[in-house]
Structure 1
């Protein structure tokens, strides 16, 4: 388990012009009064629209936003990472994002940063990536399995209640042992880990929640998480 703070958001947030509650929460976890927050839009191919949504949200909040691209001239990665108090990862194609990060040797820099106090956060692809493994729609044709960074033990599934295929697929993979037990996160909800342990569920929408998905004698089940503090923003 990786030491430090990781906040995984199931979906929604700045990508759907929702209220700023979850993103404000992310900023509040930094130890600085006006944190430097850096955006990684790799999963969307560093799309201009994703970057614009990031700046539209965070330029209005008490922080210093910036972004890093891999699809244009890329700056010194170590220097950029070290400058950030928070690194926020956007949604998109998780598989492609992780492949690009590996080629550029970004992952060791992220691990060092979080251990030194940088908050790691993200939405959708930027949520599941921190876990051991999970499910992804990166490939056309349905949901598949993906090996992730293993900063947090167990598996993960974002968009849990928004996509009707997510729950049966995730439960089936946990039931058959293709995935270890894990956490499922609704759009509008986030899970906050500290030193690898779940500390808090943050609900930014009505009924948005997170679930433990565990095997049972006849399959698997999704259980509303009750072992951690729940912070409701609505």
Structure 2
């Protein structure tokens, strides 16, 4: 019989690009299927910004517990077969922040969307921050077009919608709640910065936070009030001494 792998993805409200304590990145690597995972950074949403790539490499090359690499697409070097082999060999695909709409368009042009579906089914952990969290869901709350708005056009690996930077950017909370209340976006998950959420086969299996005050929320339409918001318990991450 074929081996059935748990399909897992993580939404991250931080990591190497914003945090100095490495707590969320430690947590992500701890979810990988191997003790020394191959971790591929995909910086498409930032236009493969060199400074962002260097920030990732600086943070992860110094770690003995992983093998980091980068997948650039704006100056693509791999043919289709090599690209598939490379992505399917990764234990973790870590997607950076930036413009969600542009990210999805570029991925679809190069067939990355299909390869990520394949990697997900084979047990690769998919994760990311901001746009790199938005992309996995059916829809997301984004500023890809300037003002905050809805993008009901994600990869659909995670049922529902995602809103990053919840309560940490002006207007995020009321705008996302309005989108869910009106049906512009399906019910979903709102992350404050500092939070991580792990999903296995589409179901929430763990939520963690760097701060006692930062939360993961479930936001759903409500027949009486228009929308309901529920804060979910999060395990507090602490540094290993």
Bin the TM-score by the shorter chain: over 0.9
Count matched residues.
228
Cα offset for 1:178? 1.1
State which of 84, 88, 91 in structure 2 corresponds to 1:78: 84
Q: Distance in 1 between matches of 2:6 and 2:118?
A: 9
Residues 3-42 of structure 1: matches in 2 within 5 Å? 4-10=7-13, 12-42=14-44
State the superposition RMSD in angstroms. Answer: 1.4
Residue 232 (1) aligns with residue 236 (2)? yes
* Residues 1:88 and 2:91 are matched in the alignment: no
Q: Give TM-score scaled by structure 2 length.
A: 0.90
Q: Which of 22-31 and 212-221 deviates more? A: 212-221
Name the counterpart of 1:194: 200
Partner of 1:109: 115
Please identify runs of 4+ aligned residues in structure 1 that moved more than 3 A. none
What are the residue-to-residue correspondences of 1:83-162 with 2, within 5 Å? 83-140=89-146, 142-146=147-151, 147-162=153-168
Whether the aligned pair in 2 keeps the contact of 1:68 and 1:74 (CA below 8 Å) is no
CA distance in 2, matches of 1:205, 1:63: 25
Q: Determine whether 1:218 maps to 2:202.
A: no
Q: 1:55 aligned to 2:60?
A: no
SS of alignment partner, residue 72 of structure 1: coil
Matched, 1:66 2:69: yes
SS for the counterpart of 2:17 is helix
Is the partner of 2:97 in helix, strand or coil? coil
Which of the residues 164, 171, 182 maps onto 1:176? 182
Q: For the residues of structure 1 that align with 2:49 and 2:156, how far apart are their CA atoms?
A: 26
Give the structure, 1 or 2, with the largest relative contact order (CA under 8 Å, sep 6 or more).
Answer: 1
> What SS does structure 2 have at the residue aligned with 1:58?
helix
Deviation of 1:80 after TM superposition, in Å, equals 1.3
In the alignment, structure 1 segments of 5+ residues that lack a partner are none
TM-score normalised to structure 1 length = 0.93
* Gap runs ≥5 in structure 2: none
The 2-side partners of 1:9 and 1:122 are apart by: 6
> How far apart, in 1, do the equivalents of 2:175 and 2:36 lie?
41
